[in-house]
Structure 1
Amino acid sequence: MAVSATAIMNLFFTILLTQAPINLSYGSSTSDDVVCIESERKALLSFKQDLVDPSNRLLSWNVSNENCCKWAGIVCNNLTGHVEELQLSNIDPDYEFFWQGSLKGKINPSLLGLKHLRYLDLSHNEFGGIQIPNFIGSLVSLTHLNITDAGFQGLIPHQLGNLSSLTHLGLQGTSMAELYVENLHWLSGLSSLQHLEMGHVNLGKASDHWLQVINRLSSLSELHLSGCELSHIIPNNSVFYVNFTSLSVLDISQNNFNSFIPEWIFGMNSLVYLDLSSNTFVGPFPNRAYCWNLTSLKGLNAADNSMDSSLSIWISGLSSSLESLDLGGNALQGPLPCSNQNLTALRYLDLSGCELNSTAAISIGFLYDLVGLEYLYLRDSNLEGVISSAIQNLTSLVHLELSSNSLIGEMPTCMGNLASLVYLDLSSNSLEGEIPSFLGNLTSIVHLDLSFNSLKAKIPTALGNLKSIVKLDLSSNSIEGEIPTSLGNLCNLSYLYLGGNKFGGKVSNAFDSLLSAGCLSNSLTWLDLSENLFFGQLTDQIAEFKNVFWLSLGDNMISGPFPESLGKLTELEYLSIGGNQLNGSLPVSLGGLSNLEFLNISSNHLEGVVTELHFANLTSLGTLYASGNSVSLRVSPDWIPPFDDCAIKLESWNLGPTFPMWLKTQKYVDMDISNTQISGIIPSWLSNLTIEYLNVSHNQLSGRIPDILHIDSPYSMVYMSSNMLSGPLPRITSGLVELDLSNNSLSGDISHFLCHPLATPNNLSILHLGRNHFSGNIPDCWMHWPELEVINLDDNNLTGKIPSSVESLQSLLSLHLRNNSLSGEITPSLQNCKQLSVLDVGLNEFSGSIPTWMGTRLNLTVLILRSNKLNGQIPFELCSLTALQIMDVADNNLSGTIPRCFDKLKAMTTEQVMKEAISYSNFGGYFFEEVMVVIKGREDQYDIILPLVNGLDLSSNKLTGEIPQQLTALQGLISLNLSENFLEGRIPDSIGNMKSLESLDFSRNQLSGVIPPSLSSLTFLSYLNLSYNNLSGKIPLSTQIQSFDASSFIGNALCGPPLYNICDEDQSKPTINNEEQKADDGGEADRWFHLGIGTGFAVGFFGVVAPLLISTDWRHAYFGFFGYFWYKILYKYNCLWP
């Protein structure tokens, strides 16, 4: 594991030094009397001529300085004056200066003139991919050769095997410059070798013999072969005797070993450090008896493999001298033993990602004896329960990570005694209660992360005592109140993340608190207050955070103008302030933020005009999200933006009337300019651009689609729906993955589009051609589109049958063929689409029976077969569809009884909670599932709130028998329609159990008996139709039922309100005397008053409702708007995705 490996190496740095005595001095000979040999001086000058020295490290190497023994990096023999060491390693740790200080160029053969050279170190330079010179193998006096990470590339020369005196060989490669070997037989000549470093050298061609060769190097003390593409290691049952009697360090991490760990590894009792991490080792660890042989072992790293043994069994066999143990990222299983007396020397322990299956209390019990433990990583280890108070015994802890578990309850008070803690991460658990004040005692803490828990109440003022803290993350909790002024005392704080809580108050007060001590204005570089309840205006005080490069204030209730002073935050790289209520125009000062890479101002109330000045110096801009504002962009036709690779979202801006010409300047098009009042034809120059994402939907574009869909870049998405495009479909290339051309006037046959052969396989996953004017048969070419997940051909003029080649669509999730003229039986080829989730073939002319194989498509959530010519019975196999939420088979010729197994439709038995909208885009697009559903007698489109919809419609068929009692178990249904059948018998008494019902229609059947009283308990019911049955008796009295119109009950033998039929028991009424009559009579003015109110209500009400009833487009827009509005409200207040 990355963090673990780094810590381990730091921990054992001293050990490694003691195992390999290396002269790390960098400079010249210490003797003032020794003078270098003239021939060697000339050789060094020739060597320098071929080097590039950008930082003048070799400035002392010059003709005027005659004594080369005093040159930088040269060490001479104090007696003879011969050059013995050449130390030219670039040792600057700073990345930027590392590149500036790296030597470049080539290696001059003049080095051969240094006959007495023992030590050559060219490591950590940049020789630009040249090959290691063969002549280095002739420097036979070398005992130390280190060219690690020096930019060499290609085949390692076998001549290095001539260096028989070598004790240290460093050949580590890099990912940018790969070194490789044909074999390793040349290593056999290096019999004195003690230290071999060949990490990240490609040894794939030597994988079958590497171990046999290295086994001959009996003096070897350190072996580093990390990331060498090795795949073969001697298995347990092979006859193999290791000769590594001196080996103290073995690193074979990051290879491709896919086997058990061989037992011979655990037979090397001289091992001090063993690294087996990041391979594919499987199975259990060797028998504990072998592990006990590792009596000298201080460090073991076996992280990120596939081992699956029990932790408690083999941990007991590890050496008592072990100081570092990393087993993270395996399938090792717990629980941990309740106590531990064997690993008392442990200072570092990482079991992250293991399946401890343990309560936190038991695991901490295992750690009770580890009083010297400094680093503990148990991230994502399936820990559960409360944190045990036994953790107080780990008083040496410096780093504690328990994130991504299932810890509950409050943090134990004793954690305040862990005074040595520098790093504490308890994020992504279910911790509750307040943030404890005792955390203020951890004055050494540098990193504190309590994010993604269920903490509440206010931030305690005691956190202001954490004077050393650099990172504080309290995000995604339920913390409330205002930010305390004590946080302003954290003068070393650089990272502050408080987003996703319930903090409130004026945003200016929050800034006052943070700036109260005056030091955060200098130290703070990251500030995130997003997704809270801050309100009020931003003031010029925001400019005091002068070093902030990340500022996120999005999704609050901040109002007022966009502050001009934001332009003073010149270090800003990330600015997110979307989802607020900012108004007015954008300040021109934003255009001066030359470091800005990400800008989100979307979903505010901004208006006015944006010009070229607003972008003047945004040369680093890579992302601009500004949708949902009423802004007009007015730039000159020949404007060239200062950025050329930017993801831009400008939905709802005014960019029209012409297509924006500045798009031509972008290297990559990743842009949403939908609903931006653009008209005219699509320019042909778009075909010259590399399109990654282009959304021009909801504009007034017309004409034919040019060849812009001939896209070279992979994973491209194009959305052009709801325009006025006409003509045939264009041909596309394999790079397109999502295409939406719906709601246009495209026409013609779609065969040339689907059946045109391509040189490479099609990658298209989403195809939406619905609501156009296509005609002809659906072509039988689907075998060319194996990646398709969504097909929508709704509302066209297609004819014929569903072709059999749909069986090739193994990835198909959603198929819409609604409202065409398709005929024949529903093809059995669809049963091969095993992932199918949505099937809508309604409003066609399909015949035959409902296929029984549909009951095997267990992923089906939506099944719509309405308005066809289907006959036969409803198959019982459909009861197996436990995920089904919407089933509509209305308006067919179905007969028989309603299956009594519908109570097995589990998704309909429980009330749906709001979940994330169903999105099929796998590449960052925005394609949501949309379904036309008939509820309350109206057909409307549902998309964002589709997961909330549960409906069953069997109406307008020839169903007989009684309404089965089992149907009332579907308590999640919001709509149930059984109208226009031949159902008889009584309405089930348990109808009142269907608490979620909003629409109920049993009209035009032959139902008899009384209306069950439980019907009055359906408090959400807003549509009811029981008309034209044989119902009798009194209509149950309730505010809910009496609110329905009389038409809901006519055609029966019912009585009582809202009908005018008076029930027999209500016939006798008390006589009203004249005085009461006078009191009840209103005057003429009252009549006119009520008449005026009634008329006004009628005009206002039907002025809105009538267009919704008459116009489908108005109705879709209305429900789409409120669906989106409802979705935003739930998102804002964290009601989504529990």
Structure 2
Amino acid sequence: MATVMDRNTTFVVLLVHCFLSLATLTCMFAYAGGNPNVLCKSGERDALLTFKKGIVDPYNLLSSWIGQECCTWKGIACDNITGHVIHLNLRNPYDYYDDFAIDDFYQSMLRGRISDSLLELKHLHYLDLSSNNFEDNHFPSFFGYLRNLRYLNLSSTGFVGTIPHQLANLSNLQTLDIHQDFYYMQLQVDNLEWLSHLSLLEFLDMSSVNLSEASNWLQVMNMLPSLSELHLSNCGLDKYDPIPYVNFSSLTVLDLSGNNFVNSTFDWINSLTSLVTLDLQYTEIKVPLLGVAVQNMSSLRNLHLSGNNFSYTIPKWLYNMTALERLYLSGNKIQGVLPKAIGCLSQLMLLDLSHNRLEGKIPRFLGNLCNLQHLDLSWNNLGGGLYDLLGNSSSCRTKNLEFLDLSGNRLSGTLPDQLGKHKKLYVLSLDDNMLSGPIPVSLGKLSSLRMLLVGYNQLNGTIPVSLGYLSNLEELMISSNFLEGLVSEKLFSNLTKLRNLDASSNSLTLQVNTNWVPPFQLQRLWVGSWELGPRFPTWLQSQKDLRELDFSNASISDVIPSWFWSLCSQFSWMDLSQNQFRGNIPSLSCGEYIVFGSNNFSGPLPNVSSGIMYLDLSNNSFHGSLSPLICEQKDKMGGNLFFLDLSKNLLYGELPNCWTNYSVLRALNLGSNKLIGNIPSSLGSLSNLDFLLLSKNNLSGELPLSLQKCEQLRIVDLSENHLSGGLSIWLGNSSSHLLIIVLRSNRFHGSIPQELCHFKSLQIMDLAHNKLSGTIPQCFGNLSAMQRQISNIIVYIFWRTIFLTLKGAEYELYENTFSLITSMDLSSNNLIGEIPEQLTSLQGLRFLNLSNNQLQGKIPQKINAMKLLECFDVSMNQLTGEIPQSMASLTFLNHLNLSYNNFSGRIPSSTQLQSFSAWSFIGNHDLCGPPLTPSCVGDDSPIEPTPNTNDEGSKDGGWIDMKWFYMGMPFGFVVGFWGVFGPLAFNKAWRSAFFKFLDGMKYKLFNGV
């Protein structure tokens, strides 16, 4: 009987087990979307279609939303039993943090307005609309009535305003993510009381939501006992109300980064016994107080303390936290050598000490951290070689290291061949150092490598073919080295995953077959300065994903093929400059950044796409009017264009007067063309303009007063035109920003305005070759940027060069040399009066040219205060008196011209002044001494006897003297000729002075001076 009962019991148990298994499987499949056997509820289908009508869908992500069966639509999942919609996922399919997909991310964003028709989805459990852009719409309050929601993700959706308290109705909610990555603090919360009703909440992320008014945030979080992850980064928090005890002790992840807790103790963290990850980076915490709170937390594995102030050292309490696995200390101003105590943290898997001030060699003890997988010491001042860290084959870390970033240091020496033994490395970043020698062949053994960054070093030799074995390589950056030689298609044969190739600024030559098809699909291709020509590379047409292209200085001499213009629509960044491309350019339907400068393009200016932001067509042969480009397309490209360079072309006609739509334009260069007429008043509407360059045209008329509205101007070059009028206060309020003003070779007249003295940032002022009169303003001595011995010119990366006349010749200054120049040129005007002694307070001034005026008086005695003066030219004036002895101490002086004045007395004796030629002093009749004359009158020197014709032998002696005179005439002519013209032929400084004198005389003759 018992046996029968046991059998019956076993049968029942098996039956129940089968039933439960079937039920479990049914429940599992109930959440699977796309089942064609489930009938969609018509009311819910209509609600979804109504929602779709309000959405702008540029990528057609909702193209499947047609027909009757909404359960098969993309992003929709239904309950397999009831048919109700329970899952709606319209998250952006691309990742913002993926560099390869950033353009797709922005283009695929859903936009528009979210309809409250979603309220018909009463059984919805899961809703995700994240990483879209619902353009400044307020956070929909009706979401609070979807009472069955368990998961709600509205992160990075562009909502604005206050988060509605109706979310308190979502009592079943387990995950709430409303962080805002891309629209910083457009959402806000006045009080977080509504959160306390979400008792089942396990995950909460409100990062970048403004919680500055919610001082009860910690009390509210303490009422959520199930909370395991809390993310409140960048929320404007700086205080909290204390809590008597900790109730949310199940917390494993706490992220409070990017707030300001300078006066907080964090003593409550001690009670979070389950805490695994603590993120307090950029919080201004008091490091000692934090140490008291966390140093005994045995559960803590991940500690983020980057971007705080560690008083230049790592706190000792960190060395006691031996259970730590990940430690982030970047950007803390930590200086000195890396302490050996770091080696005590034996469990470390990740160590980030980047962006500090560490010095010395990379310590060998790091090799004893056997669990270390991720090491980031980038952007410090570390020196020495790599052998101790990477070349020591006995290091136990050899088999574990996966991520190594040592970029931005001062490392030198060669790359050790033992690098090839680090088999797990997937990121190796050594760029921006001083490494030399060849790239080791052994790098080809790093089969896991995805990123290899060794650019901006001094590596030489050829690229080893072994790099072609890196079949997982996605990014290769070897730019700005001294690599040379041929690169064949064999190198790329296995690099099928390559997405980024940056190898520009090397002397490499690509040698492939004309029918070569690359095995990869690149998104970034930078091979500037390679030898790619003379024909345009046909293999480029196979690259369907290309976003950035640099073919600059690639020795290409060809017409761009027609297929390229259709391909270029996919580009966001393209540089074809410094080649010999020829022919016309059709409409440019390309992306944001286009540089076609320094080629042989011709024809009229092309039409460009609406998304263009940076356009450089300079130094070509484009001709015609500016109006079709500027005026006819102003509605299309005006809202985005911030840089426009059309200089050095053959453009003619008047400057168009339709600039009002170009409100974001920051740089405009139309120099070296054939433009005529007045500067239009609409240029004054460019309120964000930093750079205005219109030099070397035929512009005329007075400067419009509307330029006063250009308050951000930093560099102005209007030189070599026919502009006239006075230099009143036309620059208006730009005085606080102006760095460079060049107005030379125009017809400006009147006095130099006192308003120029307000330009405190001015470092280069060139008003030469005009008709300015009056005196030099004494307040020029207050130009504070010229007073500093270290220049502070800030030049934006999108402006590369400017031309400046120094020492009588035109120089092209590059962006990295702008800050080295301070100059004042007032030459070739009609200025009178004395040289103001106040100018000597300009201790940072390097170039001062006051020549060819009518200045009187003396050179200021305190001129030696101008310690950095390199060029001083006061020639062709009416200056008098002696040359100050103090000039002898101007040790940087390498160009001096005091010629054609009324100086008198002895030239001061010094190695410095006597090193100049006599041409620096000629035309001063009462000036004497070397190098102008051997001596001065009154110097003690022997006087040779004068021959007497009445002495005996005078008759014969006279004939001999005459004979030698005539015989010496040819020799004297030769010596005299080459004594004058020889230095002119071979000495640039003398030649410059001579022709400057001739120019000055011609100027005075023809201008009636």
Same fold (TM over 0.5): yes
- 1:106–1:127 CA contact under 8 A, matched in 2: no
Partners of 2:933 and 2:851 in 1: how far apart? Answer: 24
5+ residue gaps, structure 1: 1-29, 38-64, 75-84, 91-101, 112-124, 139-144, 164-168, 231-252, 326-344, 399-418, 921-927, 1072-1094, 1111-1138
- 1:632/1:294 CA distance change after superposition, 3 Å: closer
> Which residue of structure 2 aligns with residue 700 of structure 1?
580
1:190-209 aligned within 5 A = 197=150, 199-200=152-153
Give 3-state SS (helix, strand or coil) of 2:130's partner: coil
1:61-460 aligned within 5 A = 67-71=18-22, 73=24, 86=27, 104-105=34-35, 108=38, 128-130=74-76, 132=78, 136=82, 170-175=125-130, 197=150, 199-200=152-153, 226=176, 258=188, 260-261=190-191, 277-278=206-207, 284-285=213-214, 303=232, 311=239, 315=240, 317-322=241-246, 352-355=257-260, 363=263, 366-367=265-266, 372=271, 377-382=279-284, 389=288, 392-394=291-293, 396=295, 398=297, 422-428=301-307, 441-452=320-331, 455-460=334-339
Tell me the amino acid that sits aligned with residue 1067 of structure 1.
D
Give 3-state SS (helix, strand or coil) of 1:33's partner: helix
Tell me the amino acid that sits aligned with residue 867 of structure 1.
S
1:657 corresponds to 2:534: yes
Deviation, structure 1 residue 367: 5.0
> Which residue of structure 2 aligns with residue 742 of structure 1?
618
Deviation, structure 1 residue 425: 4.6
Deviation, structure 1 residue 913: 4.6
> Which residue of structure 2 aligns with residue 805 of structure 1?
682
> Which residue of structure 2 aligns with residue 875 of structure 1?
753
> Which residue of structure 1 aligns with residue 922 of structure 2?
1050
> Which residue of structure 2 aligns with residue 939 of structure 1?
810
Deviation, structure 1 residue 941: 1.0
- 1:181/1:388 CA distance change after superposition, 3 Å: closer
> Which residue of structure 2 aligns with residue 729 of structure 1?
605
2:344 to 465, 469, 490: 465
- 1:845–1:868 CA contact under 8 A, matched in 2: yes
Tell me the amino acid that sits aligned with residue 724 of structure 1.
N
- 2:270–2:294 CA contact under 8 A, matched in 1: yes
- 2:869–2:890 CA contact under 8 A, matched in 1: yes
- 1:802–1:827 CA contact under 8 A, matched in 2: yes
1:529-678 aligned within 5 A = 529-667=406-544, 668-678=546-556
- 1:625/1:424 CA distance change after superposition, 3 Å: same
- 1:1039/1:432 CA distance change after superposition, 3 Å: farther
- 1:1006/1:502 CA distance change after superposition, 3 Å: same
Partners of 2:301 and 2:189 in 1: how far apart? Answer: 39
- 2:189–2:213 CA contact under 8 A, matched in 1: no
Partners of 2:40 and 2:195 in 1: how far apart? Answer: 47
The more displaced of 270-279 and 989-998 is: 270-279
Partners of 1:293 and 1:571 in 2: how far apart? Answer: 46
- 1:228/1:612 CA distance change after superposition, 3 Å: closer
- 1:449/1:1018 CA distance change after superposition, 3 Å: farther
Give 3-state SS (helix, strand or coil) of 1:687's partner: helix
Deviation, structure 1 residue 533: 4.2
1:853-864 aligned within 5 A = 853-858=730-735, 859-864=737-742
- 2:690–2:712 CA contact under 8 A, matched in 1: yes
Deviation, structure 1 residue 974: 1.4
Partners of 1:544 and 1:625 in 2: how far apart? Answer: 25
Deviation, structure 1 residue 502: 4.5
Q: CA RMSD in A?
A: 4.8
Give 3-state SS (helix, strand or coil) of 2:428's partner: strand
Deviation, structure 1 residue 1059: 2.9
Give 3-state SS (helix, strand or coil) of 2:896's partner: strand
Deviation, structure 1 residue 701: 2.1
Partners of 1:752 and 1:882 in 2: how far apart? Answer: 39
> Which residue of structure 2 aligns with residue 1082 of structure 1?
none
- 1:570–1:595 CA contact under 8 A, matched in 2: yes
- 1:376–1:397 CA contact under 8 A, matched in 2: no
Deviation, structure 1 residue 475: 3.4
- 1:851/1:663 CA distance change after superposition, 3 Å: farther
Partners of 2:834 and 2:489 in 1: how far apart? Answer: 72
Deviation, structure 1 residue 720: 2.0
1:970 corresponds to 2:863: no
- 1:971–1:993 CA contact under 8 A, matched in 2: yes
- 1:520/1:835 CA distance change after superposition, 3 Å: same
Partners of 2:341 and 2:802 in 1: how far apart? Answer: 54
Partners of 2:628 and 2:438 in 1: how far apart? Answer: 54
> Deviations along 1:316-365, whole A, 9 cap, x unmatched?
x433124679xxxxxxxxxxxxxxxxxxx999986643445x5xxxx47x
Q: How many equivalent pairs are there?
A: 882
Partners of 2:144 and 2:768 in 1: how far apart? Answer: 80
> Which residue of structure 1 aligns with residue 62 of structure 2?
none
Partners of 2:132 and 2:627 in 1: how far apart? Answer: 49
- 1:130–1:151 CA contact under 8 A, matched in 2: no
Tell me the amino acid that sits aligned with residue 579 of structure 2.
N
> Deviations along 1:506-530, whole A, 9 cap, x unmatched?
44444223x323x322211112233
1:887 corresponds to 2:765: yes
Give 3-state SS (helix, strand or coil) of 1:707's partner: coil
Deviation, structure 1 residue 170: 3.9
Partners of 2:387 and 2:337 in 1: how far apart? Answer: 18
Tell me the amino acid that sits aligned with residue 695 of structure 1.
D
- 1:844–1:868 CA contact under 8 A, matched in 2: yes
- 1:198–1:224 CA contact under 8 A, matched in 2: yes
The TM-score normalised by the length of structure 2 is 0.76
> Deviations along 1:759-804, whole A, 9 cap, x unmatched?
7344332222212222222222334544432221211222111122
Give 3-state SS (helix, strand or coil) of 2:888's partner: helix
> Which residue of structure 2 aligns with residue 911 of structure 1?
789
- 1:838–1:860 CA contact under 8 A, matched in 2: yes
Partners of 2:383 and 2:174 in 1: how far apart? Answer: 55
Give 3-state SS (helix, strand or coil) of 2:12's partner: coil
- 1:586/1:282 CA distance change after superposition, 3 Å: closer
> Deviations along 1:386-421, whole A, 9 cap, x unmatched?
x665555335455xxxxxxxxxxxxxxxxxxxx876
Deviation, structure 1 residue 171: 4.1
2:903 to 1023, 1031, 1037: 1031
Tell me the amino acid that sits aligned with residue 942 of structure 1.
L
Partners of 1:669 and 1:273 in 2: how far apart? Answer: 41
- 1:570/1:949 CA distance change after superposition, 3 Å: same
Tell me the amino acid that sits aligned with residue 1011 of structure 1.
I
> Which residue of structure 2 aligns with residue 527 of structure 1?
404
> Deviations along 1:628-674, whole A, 9 cap, x unmatched?
22221111112111223331121221111111111212223522112
Deviation, structure 1 residue 866: 0.6
> Which residue of structure 1 aligns with residue 377 of structure 2?
498
